[in-house]
Amino acid sequence: KMRIAVIGQSLFGQEVYKELRKDGHTIVGVFTIPDKDGKADPLATQAEKDGVPVFKFPRWRVKGQAIPEVVDQYTRTGAELNVLPFCSQFIPMEVINHPKHGSIIYHPSLLPRHRGASAINWTLIHGDKKGGFTVFWADDGLDTGPILLQRECDVEPNDTVNTIYKRFLFPEGVKGTVEAVKLIAEGNAPKITQPAEGATYECIQKKDNAKIDWNQSAEALHNWIRGNDKVPGAWAEVDGQQKVTFYGSSLVDNGAAARGQPLEIPGASRPAMVTKSGLVLFGNDGKSLLVKNLQFEDGKMIAAAQYFSSGSSAAVELTEEEQSFAEQMRAVWHSILSNASQIEDSTDFFKAGAASMDVVRLVEEVKLRASNCQLQNEDVYMNTTFQDFIQMCVRKLRGEDGEEELVVDYVEKNINHMTIRMPHQLFIDGEFVDAEGGKTYKTINPTDGLPICEVSLAQISDVDKAVAAAKEAFEDGEWGKMNPRDRGRLIYRCCADLMEEHQEELATIEAIDSGAVYTLALKTHVGMSIQTFRYFAGWCDKIQGSTIPINQARPNRNLTFTKKEPIGVCAIVIPWNYPLMMLAWKTAACLAAGNTVVLKPAQVTPLTALKFAELAARAGLPKGVVNILPGSGALVGQRLSDHPHVRKLGFTGSTEIGKHIMKSCAVSVKKVSLELGGKSPLIIFSDCDMDKAVRMGMSSVFFNKGENCIAAGRLFVEETIHDQFVKKVVEEVKKMKIGDPLDRSTDHGPQNHKAHLEKLVEYCQTGVREGATLVCGGKQVQRAGFFFEPTVFTDVRDDMHIAREESFGPVMIISKFKSGEVDEVLRRANDTEYGLASGVFTRDISKALYVSEKLNAGTVFINTYNKTDVAAPFGGFKQSGFGKDLGHEALNEYLKTKAVTIEY
C-alpha cells in the first residue's frame, strides 16, 4: 500500500479519494480548491470529515514559477504517488516529479485525441463515434505524458457533455483511476508513449468562440450545440439580433414537416420553426434538428416551444395556502444558500452559489412539501430567481404550468339530466385535430338510429403522424425518462381519478354510443375501467427481472440477470361491445410497462375513447403517449399492423379479423396478442342450486345484451332438470324490460349497430330452418333503434350452425345431456375451435374440479359466471387467441426481456 496525495476537486475527486482509502492506501494530504461562496468542495468536505490534512491553495505557481511555500507544504506530506483525479489547477513539475512513483492524471478523452481542457466538448463537436478516458503519467506537456490505462465507450447520437459524463466518464473513470493506482502498487503499470498520429489540441471552449456557424449540415450543427451544452453554450443572433443560447439538441427525421411559427435566424439556410416540441433548426443539407431550451442574454432560460409566448403571462396572485408554501420554500432556499443573508424575490439560485447537486436537492424538497408538483431539473434552470421559481411551482400546482391549452371542439348534448361534452376529432400528439382532407363519418345512437355527431375519419397519413408522435414520446419525451413510480402516480391520476370524477358523463356517452344500459355502463364499462387503471398503476415500480445461475468457465466467474423493458410504440385495436373497458384493459398494462399507445376504437363506438383522451390530456399525461384514431379497420387497423415503427399490436375482435392481423404482423415481425371469438360452454348438472343456475345462466347469455365475448354460447343442461330449467328461464326472460338504456328500469338495451342486428335476425332464422325449437324471442323489435328480443332455443343438435358459431347477442342455445355422462358432455363442450371461457354448476366439488380441469378454455367459472377481476388474467386458447389481458401476466404482453451476462 502507498502514501498518496490526492490533488483535484469535485464529486469525481471525492469518489476516487474514498475508493483509494477503501483499498488500504494512506492519503497523506488532499489538495483542492478554495471554498466557493463559503462552501467547501466535496473532496475537501470528505477529507476534513475523515481527519485527513486538507490544503486549499488558490494557485501553485505565479508567472510560471512554483510558489516555494506551497511546494514546501506539499513535500512535507511524504507522498509516494500523486493522483490527480479531476484537477483544474496548473501543478508545477517540482510537485509532479517529487514522489517516488511520480504523478498520474485522469483525462476525459482517448489521448492523444482531444488534448486540452475541453476534451469532452470536442469529442461531441467532431461527431466521434467512440469516446472514453485516459489515465496518463504527468509530464511538463500537461497531457502529453505516457499512457497508463484507457477505456472507451460508444458515443450515442444524442449524447451531451452531461449524459456521456454521467454514463461513462464519471463512474467508469473513478474505477479506472483506482485500477491504475493498483497497477502501480503491484509494479505492473505500463508507460506507453503517446503517438503523434491522431494527436489534436483544440482551444478551450469559451462563450466567444461558441458562436454557431449556420453554413453546415444538420448533424454538424447538432454536434456543435450538444458539444457546448451546458458550458459554455452554443449561441447565435436571432430575431432582431438578440443573442440566444441553444440547449438540448437532438436530430429529427421529420423536421421539414414541422408545424409552427417561423423564426428568422441570420445566416441560416431557412427560418427555424417554433413548434410545440421545441425549436426546429435546419442545416444547409435540408435536414433538421430540434432544440428544447433557449437562454437569453439576461440569463433567463425558457422552453424553446414558448419563444413567442415567453414573458406574456402576468404573475399569479398567491392564495393563503400558496403563500405558506412559498415561505416554506424560502426557508429551503436559505438552507441551501447558506452564504446568503436572506432570500429576496430577486435572489438568483445559481448566482447565490448553488451547484448542480443543489438542484437535485431542491427538486426533492419540493416533492416533500407538494407531492403533486413534479419538477424536473430543467424547471429550476429555467426559473432561477426565487420569484420565478415560486410562480412556476404555483402554476404547476394549479395545472397552469405553461402547457398549451387543450382546444376541444365539443359536441354538447343535454341528456340524462346532465350536459355531456364530447370530442369528435382525432387525438394525435396531445391535440384534437381533423383527419387528413377533413374526412368524417356519422356515429349512430342505437336507441333511435339517429346520428349523434360527425366524427373525424382517420387516413393513412394520420396513422403515420400518430405513430411518429408516439415514437418521439417514447424515445425522447418526458414519458420515456420518467421514473416508474412517477409514471404510476400519473396513470393513477390521469386515467383513474379523473375518469372517476367524470364517471356519470362517461357512462352516459357509453349508453348513447354503444347502447349499454346506463347502470351497467356506470358499474362495469366505466367502473371496471377505473379499477383497471388503478391496478396497473400500482405495478409500474414493481416490474423487475431475475438473476440466473449459468455454467461458469473457470477460472472466470459469471453473473447473468434479466431486465424487463418496454417494447416501444404499441398499437391497440378494440371492439364495440365494451368501448371504454377494452381500452382500459389493454392501455393500462401498456402504459404501466412504459410504452406509448396508438389506439383505434371500433368505428361505430369512438366517443368514450376520445373523451378518455381529453381527460388524460387535461390531467397531465405527456403529449404523444396516447393517440386515438377513429377509422376503418381496413385502413387504420391495416396500417397499424404493417407500420415498421409499431412494435406490438394488441387486438380484441373477431377470429376472422384476428387471423388477418396476425398475418400482417408476421410480415413486419411485431409482437401480437389476440383476444378473439368464443363459443363458451356452460354445463349445468342436476345437483346444482337451481335458482342460482337460472339466474347466472341468464346472466351468462344476456349480460350486456349478449354482446359479451365470454357469453355462454351453449348451455348443456342435464336431462333430469332440462325442462324445469327452460321453464324458469322463459319466465324470467318475459319479465325483462327492453327499452331506452338511460331508463334506470331497463334490463335490455338496443344492439350496438344495425349490421349486427341484421346478423342476429339471420342467425335465429338459420336455427329455425335447421330444426331447433324457438322457445321465445328471435325477432327484431318493431320500434326506432336496433332492438332484438332475448331469445331461447332448445333441442339444438351439435351439428347445427347455432351450436357451433357465436351469436354475439341475446340468444340462449340449450342442449340436454344424459345423466352420468360427464366425459361425453365434456367431449361435446370441447368440440369447438374456440376456447375463451366456460362454466360449470354443481354442488359436487370433486365433479366441479374434474370438469374445470378437462374444459379446454382460458377461463373456467364454477357456480358463477362473468366474474372477471382486474387481478385475474383473461385470455383464450385455440382460435379464441393467445396472450392475456388483466392481472400480472398482462404486463408481459407489453414488455421485452433482455439478458445481461457479466464475466468477472
Is 99 among the annotated ligand-binding positions?
Answer: no
**Measured torsion, CA atoms of residues 753, 756, 757, 758, in degrees rounded to the nearest 10:** 130
**Is 709 annotated in the active site?**
yes
Residue 577 is given by DSSP the state S
Is 654 among the annotated ligand-binding positions?
Answer: yes
C-alpha distance from residue 353 to each of 40, 89, 334, 743, 896 (Å) = 11, 21, 11, 67, 45
Is 603 among the annotated ligand-binding positions?
Answer: yes
Phi, psi of 786 (to 5 degrees): -115, 65
Residue-wise burial string across 58-92, b where 16 or more C-beta atoms lie within 10 A, e elsewhere: eebbeeeebbeebbeebeebebbbbbbbbbebebb
Cell of 159: 449524447
Closest CA relative to residue 82, chosen from 134, 16, 38: 16
Cα separation, 392 vs 714, whole angstroms? 61
Q: Which of 570, 709, 753, 789 is catalytic?
A: 709
Is 409 among the annotated ligand-binding positions?
Answer: no
Q: Kind and range of the H or E element at 358? A: helix 356-369
Q: By the 8 A CB rule, do 767 and 761 touch? A: no
Residues constituting the chain? 904
| Packed helices 579-592 and 607-618: angle between N→C axes, nearest 10 degrees | 40
Is 271 among the annotated ligand-binding positions?
Answer: no
Cα separation, 822 vs 841, whole angstroms? 13
Cell of 848: 366441479
Cell of 8: 483535484
Is 758 among the annotated ligand-binding positions?
Answer: no
Is 672 among the annotated ligand-binding positions?
Answer: no
**Is 107 annotated in the active site?**
yes
Strands (E), 239-360: 242-252, 261-263, 272-275, 278-282, 288-296, 301-303
Is 633 among the annotated ligand-binding positions?
Answer: yes
Residue whose C-alpha cell reads 346506463 in the numeric block: 518
Is 806 among the annotated ligand-binding positions?
Answer: yes
Is 781 among the annotated ligand-binding positions?
Answer: no
Q: Kind and range of the H or E element at 682? A: strand 680-684
Task: Report DSSP letters for 183-244, one per residue.
Answer: HHHTT----BPPPSTT--BPPP--GGGGB---SS-HHHHHHHHHHTTTTT-EEEEETTTEEE
Q: By the 8 A CB rule, do 720 and 491 touch? A: no
- The residues, any chain, with a CB within 8 Å of residue 64's CB and separated by 6 or more, are none
Residues 460, 464, 465, 470, CA torsion sign? positive
**Is 675 annotated in the active site?**
yes
Q: By the 8 A CB rule, do 463 and 640 touch? A: yes
Phi, psi of 548 (to 5 degrees): -130, 125
Q: By the 8 A CB rule, do 131 and 109 touch? A: yes
Is 89 among the annotated ligand-binding positions?
Answer: yes
Is 637 among the annotated ligand-binding positions?
Answer: yes
Is 602 among the annotated ligand-binding positions?
Answer: yes
Residue 737 is given by DSSP the state P
Is 15 among the annotated ligand-binding positions?
Answer: no
What is the chain's Cα-based Rg?
Answer: 35
Is 91 among the annotated ligand-binding positions?
Answer: yes
How many CA within 13 A on the CB side of residue 396? 19
Is 266 among the annotated ligand-binding positions?
Answer: no
Task: Report DSSP letters for 797-858, one per residue.
Answer: -TTSHHHHS---SSEEEEEEE-TT-HHHHHHHHH-SSEESEEEEE-S-HHHHHHHHHH--SS
Q: Which of 107, 114, 722, 748 is catalytic?
A: 107
Strands (E), 540-612: 547-548, 558-566, 569-573, 596-600
Neighbour order of strands in the sheet with 558-566: 547-548, 558-566, 895-903
Is 634 among the annotated ligand-binding positions?
Answer: yes
Q: Which of 675, 707, 718, 893 is catalytic?
A: 675
Cα separation, 721 vs 449, whole angstroms? 41
Closest CA relative to residue 808, chosen from 788, 831, 829: 788
Is 458 among the annotated ligand-binding positions?
Answer: no
Which residues sit in the known binding site? 89-91, 143, 574-576, 600-603, 633-638, 653-654, 759, 806-808
Summarize the annotated binding site for NADP(+) as residue ranges. Answer: 574-576, 600-603, 633-638, 653-654, 759, 806-808
Which residues are annotated binding-site positions for (6R)-10-formyltetrahydrofolate? 89-91, 143
Q: Which residues are catalytic?
A: 107, 675, 709
